[in-house]
Amino acid sequence: MYKQQLEKKSLVRTIRGMTLGLVSALVLTGAGMAPVHADETCLSPYIAKITGQEDYVYVWTLGAIGVGDEQDKLVTVDVNPKSPKYGKVVDSLSVGGRNEAHHSDFTDDRHYLWAGGLDTSKIFIFDIHSDPAKPKLHKTINDFVAKSGGVVGPHSFYALPGRMLITGLSNNKDHGGRTAMVEYTNQGEYVATHWMPTDSDLRGAVKTGKYADGYNYDVRALPRRNVLVSSSFTGWNNYMMDFGKMLSDKEAMKHFGNTVVVWDLHSRKPKKVFDVPGSPLEVRCAWDETHNYCFTTTALTSKIWLIYEDDKGEWQAKEVADIGDPSKVPLPVDISISNDDKRLWVNTFMDGTTRAFDISNPHKPVQTYEKRVGAQVNMVSSSWDGKRLYYTSSLLANWDKKGKDNEQYLKLYHWDGKDLKEQFAVDFYKEKLGRPHQMRFGAYSLYKSVAEARPADIFAEFQRR
């Protein structure tokens, strides 16, 4: 009976995934619909992909001592060039206190934006759809650590059908890197905790190298291959420490992740653990239905790694390119893949530079362009058409640079295929907002378009738990 229940749950997930795929196809082709708006290329494939011009960018922002109200906040910037408020902040919603604001993402229906704090482990759920220009705080989850069984530091928020999958960075026992992924319903109800495989408990996974460290950071899915790919970083003890102090602490530097894990998407069970030395961070997967691979970059060793399915249907991992001069530790942070799988943008925090790599041959990326964005740079979000790239500056409150190099900004650049040209910049310190970390796009006509793409009966089944 239990096996039948599992098979039924797997089938339901598959059907929901197919439903979302149909919705995505309708939105991409614009079948029977008005023009729709823009999206980043890093979002979950379960979220309908949309093209065109975005109206807003939502910036999850760290509060800074002595800056404005000193609180973490969701900042809304008008980015529609036809708007009289283009390039201006139109709303700022503070959430109370400083929680080490970090990452955020939409639910699959795009009605809500989930955002987390790496220090307090609070999760803030914003209503985006009621008024895209003025988000509302819908719900705060204060018991994430207790509900999850001790997971600390909610990091990536990743939409699955009717679910939100959250990667943790740490735990409440030793505040080290041992951690898990945690699953919630879209309504904010706890579902399950999926612990990362370790040497002492591989949870059925195959260990392919030296490491099974149990660390986590990011996660992405390839539904057509029934695969999740997760990466690894470090625990609370390190990410809340002063950056300079940590770099000089030999013991602290031993506690960074060195693994990528390939999971069974439907069962949430780990299948293979790969050695990827040097703390692999963001994971970005190819979009083409024949491209069964993902990329990640290693923060400490400055490498691009390819996680791919070989000709025999087995998943493999290999180093494929250097990023800048690895001996200088430029510290690769965020990456963004183009929707045609031909370009990968890679940001390096220490030199404030963004680089473009030609990944037409994913096994041999070649750098084709670079530009210094600022004294420091962290996140990059690309529009679906690849013509607009947004950059923010803050990495972690205790890791950002000091003094004049502690620039805090949102910048928009236009990409003409050869060069990045700055369109506007918002100085978050001058605006008394804080340290901008991660971005997500919004648009007025978005929700009407998505609703029209889902017939009533499909939408009802999609929403059923």
The pLDDT of residue 100: 98
- Integer Rg of the chain from CA: 20
Contact 298, 318 (CB under 8 A): no
Mean pLDDT of the region 116-129: 97
3-state secondary structure of 270: strand
Query: Burial letters for 11-26: b for 16+ Cβ neighbours within 10 Å, e otherwise?
Result: ebbeebbebbeebbeb
| pLDDT of 385 strictly over 60 | yes
At residue 465, the pLDDT reads 30
DSSP 8-state secondary structure symbol assigned to residue 252: G
Range of the domain at 140: 2-463
- Partners of residue 275 on adjacent β-strands: 259
For 165, counting Cβ atoms within 10 Å of its Cβ (0-12 exposed, 13-18 middle, 19+ buried), the class is buried
Q: Which helix (H) or strand (E) holds 426?
A: strand 420-427
pLDDT in tens, 52-93: 789 999 999 999 999 999 999 999 999 999 999 999 999 999
Amino acid 42: pLDDT = 86
CB-CB contact of 305 with 335 (8 Å): no
CA separation for the pair 350, 395 (Å, rounded): 10
The first and second tokens of residue 6, run together, are 């599992």
Average pLDDT over residues 231-235: 98
Q: What average pLDDT does the segment 225-246 reach?
A: 98
Q: Which residue, chain included where needed, has tokens 């001058």? A: 430
Residue found under tokens 């961070």: 281
Q: What is the CATH number of the domain that holds 125?
A: 2.130.10.10
* The pLDDT of residue 455: 39
- The percentage of residues in the chain with a pLDDT greater than 90, rounded to a whole number, is 83
- Round to whole Å and give the CA distance between 173 and 455: 47
Answering whether pTM is above 0.85, one says yes
Exposure string over 271-298, b if 16+ CB within 10 A, otherwise e: bbbbebbbbbbbbbbbbeeebbbbbbbb
Cα–chain-centroid distance for residue 344? 15
Token pair belonging to 307: 């996680």
Q: Please determine, for residue 50, whether its predicted confidence score (pLDDT) is greater than 90.
A: no
Q: What angle do CA 70, 71, 76 make, to 5 degrees?
A: 115
Q: Tell me the pLDDT tens digit for each residue of 301-352.
A: 999 999 999 999 999 999 999 999 999 999 999 999 999 999 999 999 999 9
Asked whether the CA dihedral 426, 427, 431, 432 is positive or negative, the reply is positive
Confidence bin at 49 (pLDDT 50/70/90): low
What are the CA-CA distances from residue 355 to residues 335, 350, 378, 402 (Å)? 9, 13, 12, 24
- Position 78: which residue type? D
DSSP assignment, residue 254?
G
The answer, yes or no, to whether residue 204 has pLDDT greater than 90, is yes
Q: Which letter does DSSP use for residue 197 in this model?
A: P
End-to-end CA distance of the chain: 20
Number of domains comprising the chain: 1
Q: What is each CA distance from 71 to 2, 28, 62, in whole angstroms?
A: 47, 38, 7
The mean pLDDT value of the chain amounts to 89
As a whole number of angstroms, the distance between CA 446 and CA 381 comes to 18
Q: In what order do the strands lie in the sheet with 219-222?
A: 206-207, 269-275, 259-264, 227-230, 219-222
Tell me the two tokens of residue 400. Answer: 């950002």
| CA-wise closest residue to 56 among 438, 442, 444 | 442
pLDDT level of residue 34 (50, 70, 90 thresholds): very low
* Local structure of 448: helix, strand or coil: helix
Round to whole Å and give the CA distance between 343 and 345.
7
Q: What is the pLDDT of residue 448?
A: 56
pLDDT band at 260 (very low <50, low <70, confident <90, very high): very high
286: nearest Cα among 240, 220, 351, 334: 220
Q: What is the spatial distance between Cα 65 and Cα 462, in angstroms, rounded to a whole number?
A: 44
**Lowest-confidence pick of 271-275, 327-331, 445-449:** 445-449
For residue 317, the model assigns a pLDDT of 98
